[in-house]
Amino acid sequence: METEAENTQFLALIQAAREQVTYLKELGIDGTEKQSTTSAKTEHSTTSLSERYAAPAIQSQVATPSTLSDTLFGDLSAPPVRIQKSSETFEEIWADIGDCTRCPLYQGRTHIVHTDGNRKARLMFVGEAPGADEDAQARPFVGRAGQLLTKIIEAIGLKREDVLIGNVNRCRPPANRPPTPEEASMCKPFLLREIAAVQPEVIVVLGNTAMKNLLDLKQGITRVRGQFQNYQGVNVMPTFHPAYLLRDPSKKKETWEDLKKVRDYLDSTRKQES
């Protein structure tokens, strides 16, 4: 004699089959073959109900909308958001920045340090903020850390003029401290506008501060480095900041492994295009 629980599960099976048919009709599919398959399964369930419900995977007997999307049409989930191509020029973006006084960092700066390099670059590097040399020369990554970054770029077969280099913040923080979240929030929109204008294939974020500001990740750089992340359809590689490598040269090997992945990715996409 069937128990109340078995009756309830059997009714759920029938309801799932009906929902399957309705889903197929909404997609404009006749679904006759699927209906007959489901009917056969339902009839089989009627003849050996106790045996069927003893199996732990009974619900897999009826395809749900999510599994149908995978088997019939591939992935029907919404495509990932991709940053929209912008027609803005850097000069237009910088004009909006103006003689910026949006955060307190302007009080101690010598120059606003804008993004520098190839505006058609496939590869972009993003650090956290200018240091003393950058503040003096109004160019990003020109001090000791910048010289090391140039060597890293050359090691993967590129020149500095081939890439784009910038920072989350454009004004030097006092004593080279990391910019605060409030300070970064003032500058970040302009960096995103530059990214939208250039549409680089890969962005390398240098250090913890740059990574967290661009990707909004909670994990630290040591846990995320070396793993491609997605920022609105752009591949982002987190790695150590060159200034950190000057303090701890043992991390250069890990950074080199990260940049080799970037190099290999860019090589593979170039081959596909050709």
Q: What is the pLDDT of residues 212-268, one digit of tens each?
A: 999 988 899 999 999 999 998 999 999 999 999 999 999 999 999 999 999 999 999
What is the distance between the alpha carbons of residues 207 and 49, in angstroms, rounded to a whole number? 60
- How do the domains of the chain map onto residue ranges? 4-72, 90-273
Strand, coil or helix: 241: coil
Return the half-sphere exposure (C-beta side, CA atoms, 13 A cut-off) of residue 264.
Answer: 9
127 vs 39 pLDDT, higher one? 127
Q: Does domain 90-273 have CATH number 3.40.470.10?
A: yes
Q: What share of the chain is helix, strand, coil (3-state, %, to 5)?
A: 55, 10, 35
Q: What is the DSSP letter of 105?
A: G
What is the distance between the alpha carbons of residues 141 and 204, in angstroms, rounded to a whole number? 14
The residue among 151, 23, 31, 114 whose CA lies nearest residue 76 is 23
Please tell me the predicted confidence (pLDDT) of residue 201. 96
Q: How confident is the model at residue 12 (pLDDT cuts 50, 70, 90)?
A: low
Please tell me the predicted confidence (pLDDT) of residue 254. 97
Q: How far is CA 31 from the centre of its chain?
A: 38
Q: Is the pLDDT score of 150 beyond 90?
A: yes
What is the distance between the alpha carbons of residues 206 and 225, in angstroms, rounded to a whole number? 10
Structure tokens at 121: 């670059």
198 vs 15 pLDDT, higher one? 198
Question: Average pLDDT in the 35-56 region?
Answer: 41
pLDDT above 90 as % of the chain: 65
